Structure 1
Amino acid sequence: MAENKTKPTGADVTAWLDALDHPTRRADGHALRALFERISGEPAYMWGPSIIGFGTTHYRTDGGREGDMPRIAFSPRKANLVLYLSHYDGYDVDLARLGKHKTSKACLYVTKLADVDLGVLETLVRKSWECGGDACA
């Protein structure tokens, strides 16, 4: 079975965020890092070349693939801030109150933090952290 490509790299998170070209993405990245660190109590680690993760959790898919991943994470990409959060009971209700965003099966996409309610975002991150990296109800 193929090995998971996304692993902690040991790269400097602050330097990586400081090197982001877009000033809003850079500022939002630092703000998300502070939020995630405060909620998790964990330091930020680079996972792969562009994901900033906090804590770890072990996963196993129905197909038998398994590995480790960040318990919560985000990535300030060129087009969006991508947040990797667990689904929990009430996730959809909280998303409805968040503000401008998009979702996929595993990701929450926000163009900029100014577009969302930061209190609701904090709730999403906190509840996701409490789930431990798995979808929980």
Structure 2
Amino acid sequence: MSRSTSLLQQMTIFVTVMTGGGCGMMYYLMQKNFAKSEYYRLAIEQLNENSTAMASLGAPPLKIHNIHLTDRHNRVDHTQAQLKIPVTGQKTGGYLYTTSTRDSVMNSWCLQRVALQLRTGEIVDIFPRAESE
């Protein structure tokens, strides 16, 4: 009887480890797909080109963190992408909010809005640029 209990415990541990590993791999691959996507890259490029936002963060170096997959601000479908990307610099951090739409004719993503919300609550509009800049 103890042999079958021991075998059952070993199987339980094995299945638990495999499930955890599978979930971890799935999380990693989803984050990697976000980072490779055109709507994500366009938003990060806009942030890097905006000197006001970069100075507010204390960047470079700019650190881009993993997207919270369960956050309701992160939604992507075939025609629209809306993301909340956590970023930090040497001074502070915040969230980069981005909205993009897909141009079906050109089969590419077009930024609609990119804004950085700092931890202090200050919002730096990055794209579209203000007329005064």
For the criterion TM > 0.5, the same-fold answer is: no
Q: Of the two, which has the highest radius of gyration?
A: 2
* Larger relative contact order (Cα-Cα within 8 Å, sequence gap ≥ 6): 1
For this structure pair, what is the TM-score category when the shorter chain's length is used for normalisation?
0.3 to 0.5
Bigger proportion of residues as strand: 2
Bigger proportion of residues as helix: 2
